[in-house]
Structure 1
């Protein structure tokens, strides 16, 4: 059984405070999720496109070095997307601008694909966004198949809030799981709290909505439960890829051996899943660029946290 991640692979140009230096990092939210799943031992393929240009060469070398299975789709433009990530060296936070190209052709899922994950620029940049929505609806129409979406909102790619929200909602309507940051939801739904916005997304069809809150942790919502867990403390180098590491860990936690997606039915299950995911995100924040952790690293961090919280005996 197979997980397929569909979406952009790009190059982040990390522009540090004051413009003292610019460092290129290959990434892109969907590509980072595929890398994260690979490092967690999950069989997953990345379906993406990039150009035959210097940024594309960097993307290709990066994915080859990690060993991610890649299905490179033909691109109408032949360009690789560039993201300008303006980094605040004091906080590690980033804001983005894009030279975006997302025009894959012939999105055809392989037989045996059970889970499709997508989101970010691929959800809103045309003509690829419409092709992905059609693919997700067709995939989810079969029993036992599921769709996961990470909104990863990037207003610079589509500043028209109403148009952005409409494209997001048509994709969420084809999903079983949707993840968004509190900042994503505040921009999409400025008149709603993050929880109310997540409930609005659940009403479109997903069975699970997850809100990431940075240093404040994460919240999971289903029809019957709402659970929040704090994030572990960490020295932040930068936040690039932290949400993608969280997403990869979430899928890894919920995927069953037969490739189907298990939506937690109890509050305890949700809490356990979220705790693992916020740990994955925190570990990524402690590294430069999108460098998601392995299962062993996550387990070691959780064990250390448990030991630090355990009561001492005399």
Structure 2
């Protein structure tokens, strides 16, 4: 299969972020959502991608529809029982970090997957909010049984489920359906307090069946890959941060792009894992230099590589 022919199908929510900078009296509405942002990131990396999502017929939904149409990402709008679009309030600290609160809904009635899908990706609210979460988990199990690679990003949002034990159980359920699992150090600190990131990642790898790879993003400290046999760490590129909105999604898009290029299988050794993480960390760093969830294009990513 040619490197750029393998399709990634992304399943999950599209929403509107109300970005509220520290010290400001005004918020800015930006269409986003982690799965939608990942799909946009993959599209900008010239990866064949389909986003399976839903939104309401309301003003936020109009913004979502316009944004997705503008990006050119192929979209399957799943039918939903609720006519409301999820809205997230993203309060930005002075360093650009965001904290979130949600008016959330996720109730797709069906989740069709294109036949040429090589990698299925999901995560975030889509794997926590019911009734949609149970449908997404069932889809992941079905797709994995068909031999497709399943990747997931925990993207923990305690505002939608503040009960730590309930959230952890949902994440462990998701981990048992995934081949590749991503989380941030902040995700793991909420789910498994007191454990170092690598230890927490190994707790996720203990799911049955087990993911082959857990990836942990560490913010300015870089990223970590944990496998049953070892750990690989890469530093983060030094950049001037505008904000961190969408950085994790850009990281995931680049990670998925590399997985799809390799036929869906994660690298087996530390050198391959180091290349995988370095490219993904570069994509996240480029996104941090921009306001809002604006992932890099393939040309951006290649030109930012050392020696380019």
TM-score by length of 1: 0.93
Aligned length: 301
Q: How does 1:86-165 map to 2 (within 5 A)?
A: 86-88=91-93, 90-143=94-147, 145-165=148-168
**Corresponding residue of 1:195:** 198
Q: How does 1:241-280 map to 2 (within 5 A)?
A: 241-256=246-261, 260-280=263-283
Partners of 1:298 and 1:232 lie apart in 2 by: 12
Instruction: Look up the SS of the partner of 2:31 in the other structure.
Output: strand
Tell me how far 1:294 sits from its aligned partner.
Answer: 1.1
Could you give the per-residue CA deviations for residues 180-207 of structure 1, whole angstroms, max 9, x where no partner exists? Answer: 0000000000132111110111121100
Tell me how far 1:114 sits from its aligned partner.
Answer: 2.4
Structure 2 residue 14 is matched with structure 1 residue 12 = no
Partners of 1:76 and 1:280 lie apart in 2 by: 36
2:41 alignment partner, one of 36, 44, 47: 36
Partners of 1:52 and 1:37 lie apart in 2 by: 26
Tell me how far 1:273 sits from its aligned partner.
Answer: 1.2
Unaligned runs of 5+ in 1: 308-314
Tell me how far 1:211 sits from its aligned partner.
Answer: 0.4
Partners of 2:221 and 2:109 lie apart in 1 by: 40
Aligned-residue Cα RMSD (Å) equals 1.2
Partners of 1:111 and 1:249 lie apart in 2 by: 22
Structure 2 residue 188 is matched with structure 1 residue 185 = yes
Instruction: Look up the SS of the partner of 2:40 in the other structure.
Output: helix
Instruction: Look up the SS of the partner of 1:221 in the other structure.
Output: strand
Work out which of the two has the higher radius of gyration on C-alpha atoms and give 1 or 2.
1
Instruction: Look up the SS of the partner of 2:305 in the other structure.
Output: helix
Could you give the per-residue CA deviations for residues 214-246 of structure 1, whole angstroms, max 9, x where no partner exists? Answer: 111000111223111110111111100000000
Tell me how far 1:284 sits from its aligned partner.
Answer: 0.1
**Corresponding residue of 2:3:** none
Tell me how far 1:103 sits from its aligned partner.
Answer: 0.6
Tell me how far 1:174 sits from its aligned partner.
Answer: 0.3
Partners of 2:109 and 2:282 lie apart in 1 by: 37
Tell me how far 1:108 sits from its aligned partner.
Answer: 2.6
Instruction: Look up the SS of the partner of 2:55 in the other structure.
Output: coil
Unaligned runs of 5+ in 2: 1-5
**Corresponding residue of 1:3:** 8
